[in-house]
Amino acid sequence: MKNIKIKGLNIEMTEAIESYFKNKMDSLDKFLDPNDESIECDARISKIADNQSGDIFKAEVSIHTAGKNFGAVSEKDNLYSAIDDVQYAVTRKITSYKDKKRSIFKRGATEFKRLLKKFY
């Protein structure tokens, strides 16, 4: 993914965190249209609480494509597991949308085929 914007709130954005996040988002390229130049990814990584039970990290991502927008949020006690979880959630949403789109197309094609059989 080319257009990735990452913001860090209440956390220092190190090169390791940024490269880990970019690698996770690059794995989504196989699900998205490679010809779509308008794909953008906005991400926010933040540290919510520093309480007695430990730190809580939040990772949010929103992906804007030409056809649809996808987004996910994850809160975990480990920053890297929150990034993994948000990547998994966005992957599920993208594949679900693509499967739904494909099944709608198949239903339409089946209906069209049924109509053609009626006339011939």
Residue 50's pLDDT band (boundaries 50, 70, 90)? low
pLDDT score at 73: 95
Domains of the chain, by residue range, sit at 3-94
Tokens describing residue 50: 């520093």
* 120 pLDDT more than 90: no
Residue range 3-94 forms a domain whose CATH class is alpha beta
User: What is the chain's mean pLDDT, rounded?
Assistant: 88
If one counts every other C-beta atom within 10 angstroms of the C-beta of residue 55, the result is 15
For residue 78, give the 3-state DSSP assignment: coil
* Euclidean distance between CA atoms 27 and 105, whole angstroms: 26
Neighbouring CB atoms inside 10 A of 50's CB total: 9
* Sequence-separated (6 or more) residues with CB below 8 Å from residue 115: none
**In the prediction, which pLDDT does 44 show?**
95
Q: Which residues 6+ apart lie within 8 Å of 28 measured at CB?
A: 1, 63, 87, 90, 91, 94
Whether residue 54 has pLDDT greater than 70: yes
Q: How confident is the model at residue 58, as a pLDDT?
A: 94
- Structure confidence at residue 90 as a pLDDT band (50, 70, 90): very high
* Reported confidence tier of residue 51, pLDDT bands at 50, 70, 90: low
CA-to-CA distance for 14 and 17, rounded, in angstroms? 5
Question: Confidence band (pLDDT; 50, 70, 90) for 111?
Answer: confident
Looking at per-residue confidence, does 19 or 118 come out higher? 19
